Chains A and B, each alone.
Chain A
Amino acid sequence: DTAVSQTPKYLVTQMGNDKSIKCEQNLGHDTMYWYKQDSKKFLKIMFSYNNKELIINETVPNRFSPKSPDKAHLNLHINSLELGDSAVYFCASSQDPGNTIYFGEGSWLTVV
């Protein structure tokens, strides 16, 4: 009964490939997020959706495209993967944009 679940947990892929990470939350929350955690462990927000509408879009390359088919899902698609995209990507959700954020377990992406 995981609250925020994301797949895959581990992903190793070659440069130039396109890959997707899926996220689902069963908390009934309206807001979902994607965070990137680099090798120095800094947590950086990438995107936030509220009721399927994009509300936060940080300076992220166009190769990253989020998609929210419904409130419970926020997927992240990455085109033309680069070495620097290697990181841990966390999906998260909150009741609304001002509320406590609950994180998924992370997706470890390694680009070789």
Chain B
Amino acid sequence: GQQLNQSPQSMFIQEGEDVSMNCTSSSIFNTWLWYKQEPGEGPVLLIALYKAGELTSNGRLTAQFGITRKDSFLNISASIPSDVGIYFCAGQRRGAGNNRKLIWGLGTSLGVNP
């Protein structure tokens, strides 16, 4: 099935560092979403982006919807140990049925060293 290119695949950082990850696609999306999955849990929505160029923050997290509508990035500032988890991007197009299903990235696994 179709997937988004998400990078990096994994990263391990020191507490207090800033983190950046991104997602790219060969086709455009109308919505970009960022989810976080902690060990043993389901993914939880962090940020939703609905407009090209949109920059949205949620605490220490900031995400942007790329101008071309083919990419998005997520930044985490001043990381803390509880930021550990897998971060997934997902894109969605307008349309009906299968056209509206989310297309997922493969995830970025984040480790934080206290």
Contacts and interface: CB of A to CB of B under 8 A. Distances in A.
Are A and B co-members of a single complex?
Answer: yes
Contact of A105 (B41, B48, B98, B100): B41
A42 B41 contact: no
Contact of A106 (B42, B102, B109): B42
A92 to B, nearest CB: 8
Interface stretch (A14-22, A65-73, A78-86, A96-104): A96-104
Q: How large, as a class, is the contact surface on chain A?
A: 20 to 34
A41 B106 contact: yes
Interface residues of B, number: 26
Given A42-B107, A56-B98, A102 B1 contact: no
Contacts of B97: 55-56, 97
B23 to A, nearest CB: 13
Interface string B92-105: 10101110111010
Contacts of A100: 33, 45, 48
Contacts of B55: none
Contacts of A77: none
Given A58-B1, A100-B48, A103-B43, A42 B102 contact: no
Contacts of B96: 97
Nearest to A90: B42
Contacts of A63: none
B33 A103 contact: no
Contacts of A4: 42
A11 interface: no
Interface of B: 1, 3, 31, 33, 37, 40-45, 48, 86, 88, 92, 94, 96-98, 100-102, 104, 106-107, 109
23 contacts: A4-B42, A41-B86, A41-B106, A41-B107, A42-B104, A42-B106, A42-B107, A43-B43, A43-B88, A44-B1, A48-B101, A55-B97, A55-B98, A58-B1, A92-B42, A97-B97, A98-B94, A100-B33, A101-B45, A103-B43, A104-B42, A105-B42, A106-B41
Interface of A: 4, 40-45, 48, 55-56, 58, 90, 92, 97-98, 100-106
